[in-house]
Amino acid sequence: MNFNEIYDHYNIDDSFDNMIKKAQECLCEDFNKLEEIAEFNQLKVLKAFNKNNLNTQDFISATGYGYADTGRKKLEEIYADFFKAEDALVRPSIVAGTHALSLVLFALLNYGDKMVAITDDPYDTMQQVIGIVGNKKGNLISKGISYEKLSLDENNQIDYQNIHKVFDKNTKLALIQRSTGYTQRRAFTIEEIEKAIIEIRKANPETIIFVDNCYGEFTEDKEPIEVGADILAGSLIKNLGGGIAITGGYVVGKKDLIEYCSNTLTAPGIGKDEGLSFGTTRYVLQGLYFAPQIVKEAIKVGMLFGKVFNELGYEVIPKIGDPQSDVVQAIKFEDPDKVITFCKAIQEASTVDSNLIPEPFPMPGYEDPVIMAAGGFVEGSTSELSADGPLRSPYIAYLQGGLNYYHGKLALKLVLSRFKNQGYI
């Protein structure tokens, strides 16, 4: 099969083909395991659709208060079902993962309460929500809520032995961030989250355990609710959107906690009973249908990038052979120019806006300039191939998404070609 026309169009150097082929061969066993996980999660989604009698009329959009929006209720029942949660709140009015997480914190925490992050400080945007950076108006600390973190241990793992030291009678909520975020550690597995939950329950059985589930959905055959978490939140334009959902976020968990969240999102007395889906229900559910396969493809793309760049001498996170519990593959470049070159090459390979050139830019919610390569059918969708990173030491590029493996492999070839042109490899 002659790829010359394609290589010429993208100005790709074919000298990397054998290297990529060997990397794929080394990853065959890992890819087979991903197929098993994807199959299980696909059947789990289908079961939730069938059990809750998803019907054509559930896709009809309502107006006004949304009392006739039957699909909204059905969608939330399906989400609760496959997450094995008591209840769910899934709305287009939740504008981002950060909004979903913030919604939970503001709904469940009151003046005098204490929250503890047991996986070190959370993602950059959440630090502004809490108030530990940025001093934004209305943050949690400004409302009399105290915050404490438990740093990771010397191996960048949860410090299980010292969890009890950061809990007291006022510790209302424990936050666990599953994904790597903009850190130098891999995502935590369901097994590791379960171990942490056991220690939290010993320290304070009344503490609400909240998992930031962004980027982690469908990467394993269980979700955190199944190992004892009380509530989870995430975005619909990440894993669960399957590249189709156009907006939205979700919160799933115990029924009383979801009631607090719904009353905060709308108003006490209204809760989940009002709110339009704005015709997004079909997109959300169709995205959910494809999500297990899309997550599998995204992890395969990340693994291939990780394997190749590791062979080239770069440190990658997760390391080769480590468990993969999110769709993020980080590559440590120790050089801002390499991060920029990497992201520009990913943008070149994008399905949409491939002609644009990303540059580091101050982004809302971030303290450092961030370069973001994202050219997808849904703006900002990290289900689709994208890469970003804050321009700060040690200068790491975070690759995520990929609707299909072939697209990811093309992007890798383009990145390697641009790196060779710059004399980086």
* pLDDT (tens digit per residue) in 129-173: 999 998 899 999 999 999 999 999 999 999 999 999 999 888 999
H-type helices in 90-228, by residue range? 97-108, 124-130, 190-203
pLDDT of amino acid 218? 98
Exposed / middle / buried, residue 78 (Cβ in 10 Å: 0-12, 13-18, 19+) = buried
* pTM attached to this predicted model: 0.95
Q: Are 323 and 303 in contact (CB under 8 A)?
A: no
CATH topology of domain 4-42+292-421: Aspartate Aminotransferase, domain 1 (3.90.1150)
pLDDT of amino acid 78? 98
pLDDT of amino acid 118? 97
pLDDT of amino acid 129? 97
Per-residue pLDDT at 37 exceeds 90: yes
Q: What is the CATH number of domain 43-288?
A: 3.40.640.10
* pLDDT (tens digit per residue) in 162-171: 999 999 888 9
Per-residue pLDDT at 246 exceeds 90: yes
Q: Give the domain ranges of the chain.
A: 4-42+292-421, 43-288
* pLDDT (tens digit per residue) in 68-119: 899 999 999 999 999 999 999 999 999 999 999 999 999 999 999 999 999 9
Peptide bond into 358 cis (omega under 30): no
Query: Residue with structure tokens 């989604």?
Result: 45
pLDDT of amino acid 143? 97
- Distance between CA atoms of 360 and 48, rounded to whole angstroms? 42
293: helix, coil or strand?
helix
pLDDT of amino acid 363? 76
Give me the residues paired with residue 390 across strands: 370
pLDDT of amino acid 366? 76
pLDDT of amino acid 193? 98
DSSP 8-class letter at 382: T
Q: Are 320 and 337 in contact (CB under 8 A)?
A: no
Q: Are 381 and 239 in contact (CB under 8 A)?
A: no
Q: What is the CA radius of gyration of the chain?
A: 21
Q: How many helices (H) and strands (E) does the chain have?
A: 11, 12
* pLDDT (tens digit per residue) in 187-234: 999 999 999 999 999 999 999 999 999 999 999 999 999 999 999 999
